[in-house]
Structures are given as C-alpha cells and as structure tokens.
C-alpha cells in the first residue's frame, strides 16, 4: 500500500468505508434504480420550458426576427447575450477535465464527468442563438467553406464571426469525443452489471465493446493526456475568439485589448458557478455525498475567487480607462459613470453586486465550505455573468456617437421565451444524463481510492505508514 | 493437451495483481493478457508492453490540420476569389496570415484530436456494435484477470498462481 501514499495532512477525497465494488454500486445505483417524484417534477418543468422556447423559436423563424426587441441601433442584444452566457458556462467542463488533469488535481475526478456533460449541453444552447438570429436558419450551412455553386461567395476568413464558427464547432466536437472516450470504460461497467437484456444491449452499444486490456488502458491514458494538452489551449482560444466578436469592432467599450483574457476568466468564473449550482443539487439527488464533498466545493470556490478577482480587476481597468480617456463616448460604455447614472443603471449595479460584491464572502473559509452558501453564491454569479454580457451589448449600443442613434432595448416575450426555452432544454438534457450516464468517472475514481479514500488514510495512520 | 487452453487467474486487488504479474514473469511464463477495471499504474511496464505511439500520431495529424487550414485560407481568400474587405486587399497569404491564425489553430486541434481518437479506436478495436471481449464481467467492476496460455504445464501454472494470491484460477478453452 505504500505505493499509494498521500500525506495524511490532505483531506480525503472519498468519504466513508468504500471498496472498489462499493464505488461501482454507488455510481450504478441512480442508473439502475427508478426515478423519484422530484426527478419527474423537475423534468416536466424543464420539458414545459423547453417546449415553450421551441414555440418561440418557431414563431421567430416563421415571422422573422422583427418579433424580437431589436431596433435599428441595437441589432443584437438578448440573443447574443445568451449565446455568450451559454458558451461561458460551457468553459468549466473542459477546463476541469483538461487543465486540472495536466496539473494532476485528483479532486477533478468527482466532478469532471458532470462538468463535461454541462459543457456539451451548454454549447448546444449557445449554438442555437446565432443560427436562429440568421433569420433563415435553413441557410445556416452558408457559414461552412463550401464552393460557390452553393452560395454566392466563399466565406470570409477575416471575420471573427467565422472564426467563431470554427472555434465553437471544434470545441463542441473535441469536448464530445473527450467525454465519450472517458465514458467507454464506465459504460462497460454498467453493461457487465446489467440484468435487463434491453439495458445490456444499449450499454453494450454505448461502450463500443470496451474490454479493459492492459494495452487499451495504456493507450487510454495517453489519449486522455494528449487530449487534455490539446483541449487546454482550445478552451482558452474559444472564449478569446468570442471576445474578438466585440474586440475587433470599432465601438468604444468593445474595442478593448483586455477583452480576451478578461472573457476567458469570466467564462471560467461562470462555468464553475454553474457546476456548483448543478452539483449542489445532484450530489443530494443521486446520493453522491461520499464523492462530492465539502473539500470539492471549497476547491471550486477557490477557483471562483481567483477568476472572479481577475474579472474584478478587468472591470476596474475598463472603468478607469473610460474615465481617463476623457472621451464623452467612452463615458457611455458599460463600465463608466455615464452607465452607472444612465437608463441602464440598474443593470450596471446588478453586475457589480452579483459578480463582484457577493462572491467576496467566499474569502471566509467557513462560508466557502458551506454547501448552501456555495449554492446561493453560484446562483448570484450566474445572474451576474448574464448581466455582464447584457451590459456590454445593450448599454454600449444604446448610446451611439450621435444623439439621434440613442435608443433602448426592451425584450419582447419572444426574447424571454427563447432564453427560458434554452434553460429548459439544458435541464432536460442534464436530467436525462443524470439518470442514464455514470455521473462520476467510475474507473478513474477507483485509481485514487487507496491514496485518497478516508478508510485507507485511517488505516495508514493506524499502521504508522509514511 | 491442446494449445488453445488458457488459465484465467482472478485477483481482487491491484497491488496483489502487480506482485503476481512480476512473479509469473520471473518464472518465465508468457502473460497473454490482463483485464483490469481501471488503469493500474505501472502494469504496462511490468508486462513489458511497448510504449504507445499515439501521441506521435497526434503530432502529425496536427501538422496535417495546419496544412489543410493554410491551403483553405489561401485558396478561398487569395487564389480563387480575392476581395478587398474593409480596405484590406487580399494579395498575399503571408500578409493576411494574422487574420487566419484562429483558423490555423482550430483546424490543427480539430485534426489532431479527432484523428488521434479514431486511431485509438481502430488500434484498440473499439467501435459501435463491437462485442466486448473481457472473459469475466467482474473485470469491469473490482476484479483483475490474468490470462496465461497453457503449454502442457497446467499443474505447474496452477501451483504458481495459487501462491500469488489469486482468488480464482480456472482453465478454459479459448474458442
């Protein structure tokens, strides 16, 4: 057992008296058991929201995007806000599985499966918005580089919007493959346990016939490592390119060189907040308390404090620069005295309170180790990060360089409906996932049982092994 | 005695398995295969498996992606239909290259990641509708299975394996 040594000063990552078989049992239970009433209630609410959103999408496509609250000055607002918000949420998953893998952070194993699922489902939602904003989504394939016979011209590779197409589709497909490769051994576990023939067939198909040979595992680990190495710059590039949508324009408030790092930090900030929100509920519902512990919550909160701090410094910089230029236009960007005192002052203060002030309570150790406090703070950050994107877009566009271009964005019920619909769609996917997929990487977590399991740590302590 | 016979020795602990692999290797027996529920650190070295070359393939797939992106941006933006966009004409690829960096990067990652994973699936023979080949369903839960071919040394092997802490030793005919 000495080969599995880990300092006794480190808190255990797996609580209770667990064996390898217990881990299999614990993770398979939500899949093999029946869903309870709460699951069905949550599922039907999410389904209703999703259908309402689909209705609004059909209405938009059938009538035209005039049904949204856009006007001649504010040509994109709610939809692009939601797009950036969802893409940002989609950043934690691959960050947890890739960056934390490279840094050998073992605690990621409890949360990476769900965080990656969240990533993929969030990127689905994000992808919807640009496509429906095209107004004619059946022409969406025009963003692909295909020869002229299919459209009037080649796509423009100088445009950040096209970079986005490549970045998001690469991110989605690579995340999906990373997630699925990690799932293969765990699907195999479920397959080999299944008693119902139909279930066995389905999981046999999903597991791609994984057998767990020594050579397979050697390749599996190498592939995971290389994918992590590829996905790490990929995560950073995706939100960098999303920020280029704004930063390469010539609008005051958007044309800002700190946008890429600041957007990436904001994305990780919001992504971890969403992971906290989801896992705060999921650990209870699927009885994963032994695997998703206070320690995990604390570690995630530390990442939130760090990235939230970067975001706060970025806000301060933008605010300072807006004032320091002495330019009257800059005084109406989203972080300025003009914005604070203007018609969107409430949105400005929502951003400050939810994103900057509330998360500061996580500096207190007792609070960042509390499940309920973490959950509430994560909800606040989710709201705050939505306002960040809304402020960047709506406030900046509402004050053009001529007073005749000053206007206001008011969302219609369709704008709101589509947003609610994507939240519903996201939760439909996540709830289905929580009932059918192994929510914790079963094979991987077994590798840390002997080093980080509570019982094994105690045993070492008693035997005085070092 | 036919050579299709193999011995399956089951273990219920990774450390015991590692010691057993070393013992069997020291006794100069060939271990055909080991099935484990999770990656056991150092097992590939103990078995004498050659290191995998998948990372090297990823490098070459990545270069391919960069080349494809270079060709794509050059052909569409410079050669086939050059345009003057925003007062920035498309005369030469190298001068316009900074605008193509995101595409070059994304396609490099796209090619490296996907082609490497496809190579992994093909090499390890895993794909949809593939039948699983682990001989015992417990090997995806908490058991470790060592497969050793029998060449008229069944009893000798059985005695050896009994000393290594195997929880189950059985001789089976391999199809």
CA A25, CA A16: separation in Å to the nearest integer?
Answer: 14
Name the residue facing B120 among A166, A191, A219 (closest C-beta): A219
Residues in chain A closer than 8 A to B100 (CB atoms): 157
Q: A85 with A389: CB under 8 angstroms?
A: yes
User: Residue B131 falls within a domain, yes or no?
Assistant: no
**Choice among A238-247, A345-354, A399-408, B36-45 with the minimum mean pLDDT:** A399-408
| Strand (E) or helix (H) holding A379 | helix A371-390
B60 and B111 assigned to the same domain: yes
Report how far apart the first and last C-alpha atoms of chain A are (Å, whole number). 10
Residues B112 and B59 in one domain: yes
pLDDT number for residue A456: 87
Chain A partners within 8 Å of B95 (Cβ): none
Contact B34 A218 (CB under 8 A): no
Residues near A125 by beta carbon (within 8 Å), at least 6 away in sequence: A82, A86, A422, A423, A425, A426
> How many of the other CB atoms lie within 10 Å of CB of A102?
12
B113 and B160 in a single domain? The answer is no
B36 close to B43: Cβ distance less than 8 angstroms: yes
Residue A37 backbone phi and psi in degrees, to 5:
-65, -40
In this structure, the answer to whether residues B116 and B67 fall within a common structural domain is yes
Q: Same structural domain for residues B88 and B146?
A: no
Q: Is residue B47 part of a domain?
A: no
**Shared-domain flag, residues B73 and B116:** yes
**What is the rounded radius of gyration, in angstroms, for the C-alpha atoms of chain A?**
24
B64/A182 Cα distance (integer angstroms): 25
Comparing CA positions, the residue from A309, A307, A391 lying closest to residue A351 is: A391
Counting the structural domains of chain B, the total is 2
- For every residue of A147-192, DSSP letters joined together read -GGGSSS---TT-HHHHHHHHHHHHHHHHHHHHHHHHHHHHHHHHH
CA A415 to chain centre: 22
- Read off the pLDDT of each residue in A131-159 and give the average, rounded to a whole number: 82
Domains of chain A: 12-450 (1.20.1630.10)
pLDDT of residue A334: 85
Selected residue of B102, B114, B122, B133 to mutate for chain A interface (largest A Cβ count, 10 A): B102
Tell me whether residue B106 is in a domain.
yes
Q: Which residues of A touch B121 (CB under 8 A)?
A: 208
Contact list in B for residue A220 (CB cut-off 8 A) is 39, 120, 124
- Would you say residue A58 has pLDDT above 90? yes
Contacts of B78 in chain A (CB under 8 A): none
Domain for residue B48, yes or no? no
Of the candidates A162, A192, A230, the beta carbon closest to that of B109 is on A230
Taking residues A377-397, report their average pLDDT. Answer: 92
How many C-alpha atoms does B80 have within 13 Å on its Cβ side?
15
Q: What angle do CA A311, A367, A282 make, to 5 degrees?
A: 85
Same structural domain, B115 and B146: no
Q: How many CA atoms lie within 13 A of A331 on its CB side?
A: 9
pLDDT in tens, A283-294: 888 888 889 999
Please provide the size of chain A in residues. Answer: 466
Dihedral pair phi/psi, residue B171, rounded to 5°: -100, 130
Residue B3 has pLDDT above 70, yes or no: no
Q: Is the domain of B61 the same as that of B105?
A: yes
**Residue span of the structural domain in which B108 resides:** 54-123
- Closest alpha carbon to B25 in B52, B51, B1, B45: B45
Cα–Cα distance, A359 to A378 (Å, whole number): 8
Q: Taking 50 as the threshold, does the pLDDT of residue B1 lie above it?
A: no
Q: How far is B172 from chain A (nearest CA, A)?
A: 18
Tell whether B104 is covered by a domain: yes
Mean pLDDT of A187-196: 92
pLDDT attached to residue B2: 52
Report the percentage of chain A scoring pLDDT > 70.
Answer: 98
- Helix A78-89 and helix A413-436: axis angle, to 10°? 20
DSSP B95: H
Residue B42 inside a domain? The answer is no
Q: Do B76 and A209 touch (CB under 8 A)?
A: no
CA-CA distance, A465 to B8, in Å (whole number)?
A: 34
Asked if the structure places residue B130 within a domain, the reply is no
Percent of chain A at pLDDT exceeding 90: 60
Q: Report yes or no: A409 and A369 within 8 Å, Cβ to Cβ.
A: no
Condensed to tens digits (0 to 9), the pLDDT of residues A343-381 reads: 889 999 999 999 999 999 999 999 999 999 999 999 999
Which CATH number do you get for residue B15? 3.30.70.260
Q: Give the model's pLDDT for residue A224.
A: 93
Domain presence at residue B43: no
The mean predicted confidence, pLDDT, of chain B is 90
Taking an 8 Å cut-off on Cβ atoms, the answer to whether B39 and A217 are in contact is yes
pLDDT confidence of residue A301: 94
At residue A347, the pLDDT reads: 92
**Residue A444: which of B38, B62, B85 has the nearest Cβ?**
B38
Closest residue by Cα to residue B58 from B121, B109, B102 = B109
For A158, the closest chain B residue by CA position comes to B99
Q: Which residue of B has its CA nearest to A225?
A: B55
Contact A188 B140 (CB under 8 A): yes
For position A5, what pLDDT does the model report? 76
């Amino acid at each position: 057992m000495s080969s599995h040594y880990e300092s006794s000063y480190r808190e255990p990552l797996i609580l209770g008296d667990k064996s390898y078989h217990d881990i299999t049992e614990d993770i398979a239970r939500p899949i093999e058991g029946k869903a309870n009433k709460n699951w069905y209630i949550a599922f039907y609410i999410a389904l209703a929201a999703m259908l309402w959103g689909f209705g609004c999408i059909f209405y938009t496509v059938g009538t035209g995007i005039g049904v949204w609250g856009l006007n001649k000055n504010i040509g994109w607002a709610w939809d692009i806000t939601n797009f950036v918000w969802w893409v940002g949420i989609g950043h934690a998953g691959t960050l947890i599985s890739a960056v934390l893998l490279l840094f050998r952070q073992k605690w990621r194993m409890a949360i990476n499966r769900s965080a990656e699922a969240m990533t993929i489902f969030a990127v689905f939602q994000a992808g919807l918005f640009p496509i429906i904003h095209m107004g004619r989504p059946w022409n969406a394939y025009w963003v692909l580089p295909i020869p002229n016979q299919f459209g009037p011209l080649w796509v423009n590779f100088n445009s950040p919007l096209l970079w986005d197409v490549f970045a998001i589709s690469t991110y989605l497909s690579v995340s999906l493959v990373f997630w699925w490769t990690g799932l293969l051994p765990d699907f195999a576990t479920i397959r080999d346990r299944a008693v119902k023939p139909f279930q066995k067939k389905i999981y046999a198909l999903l597991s791609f016939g994984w057998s767990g040979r020594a050579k397979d595992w050697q390749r599996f680990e190498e592939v995971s490592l290389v994918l992590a190495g590829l996905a790490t710059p990929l995560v950073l590039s995706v939100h960098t390119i999303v920020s280029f949508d704004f930063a390469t324009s010539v609008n005051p408030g958007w044309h800002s060189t700190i946008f890429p790092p600041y957007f990436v930090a904001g994305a990780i900030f919001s992504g971890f907040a969403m992971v906290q929100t989801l896992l705060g509920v999921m650990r209870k519902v699927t009885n994963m308390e032994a695997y998703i512990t206070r320690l995990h919550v604390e570690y995630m909160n530390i990442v939130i404090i760090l990235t939230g701090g970067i975001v706060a410094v970025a806000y301060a910089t933008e605010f300072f620069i807006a004032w320091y230029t002495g330019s009257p236009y800059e005084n109406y960007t989203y972080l300025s005295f003009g914005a604070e005192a203007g018609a969107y002052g409430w949105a400005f203060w929502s951003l400050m309170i939810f994103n900057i002030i509330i998360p500061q309570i996580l500096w207190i150790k007792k609070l960042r180790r509390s499940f309920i406090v973490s959950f509430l703070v994560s909800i606040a950050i989710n709201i705050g990060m939505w306002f960040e994107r809304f402020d960047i877009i709506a406030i900046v566009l509402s004050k053009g360089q001529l007073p005749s271009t000053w206007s206001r964005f008011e969302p219609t019920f369709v704008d709101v409906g589509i947003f609610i619909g994507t939240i519903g769609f996201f939760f439909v996917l996540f709830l289905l996932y929580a009932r059918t997929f192994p929510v914790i990487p079963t094979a991987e977590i077994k590798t840390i049982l002997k080093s980080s399991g509570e019982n094994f740590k105690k045993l070492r302590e008693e035997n005085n092994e070092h | 005695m036919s050579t299709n016979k193999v011995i399956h020795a089951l273990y219920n602990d990774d450390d015991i398995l590692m010691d057993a692999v070393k013992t069997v290797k020291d006794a100069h027996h060939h271990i055909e295969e080991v099935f484990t529920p999770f990656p056991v650190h150092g097992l590939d070295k103990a078995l004498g498996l050659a290191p995998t070359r998948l990372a090297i393939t990823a490098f070459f797939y990545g270069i391919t992606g960069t080349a494809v992106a270079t060709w794509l941006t050059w052909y569409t933006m410079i050669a086939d239909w050059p345009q003057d966009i925003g007062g920035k004409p498309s005369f030469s690829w190298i001068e316009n290259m900074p605008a193509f960096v995101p595409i070059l990067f994304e396609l490099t990652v796209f090619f490296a990641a996907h082609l490497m994973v496809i190579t992994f699936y093909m090499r390890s023979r895993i794909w949809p509708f593939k039948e699983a080949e682990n001989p015992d369903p417990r090997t995806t839960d908490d058991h470790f299975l060592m497969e050793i071919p029998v060449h008229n040394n069944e009893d000798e092997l059985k005695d050896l394996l009994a000393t290594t802490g195997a929880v189950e030793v059985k001789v089976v005919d391999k199809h």
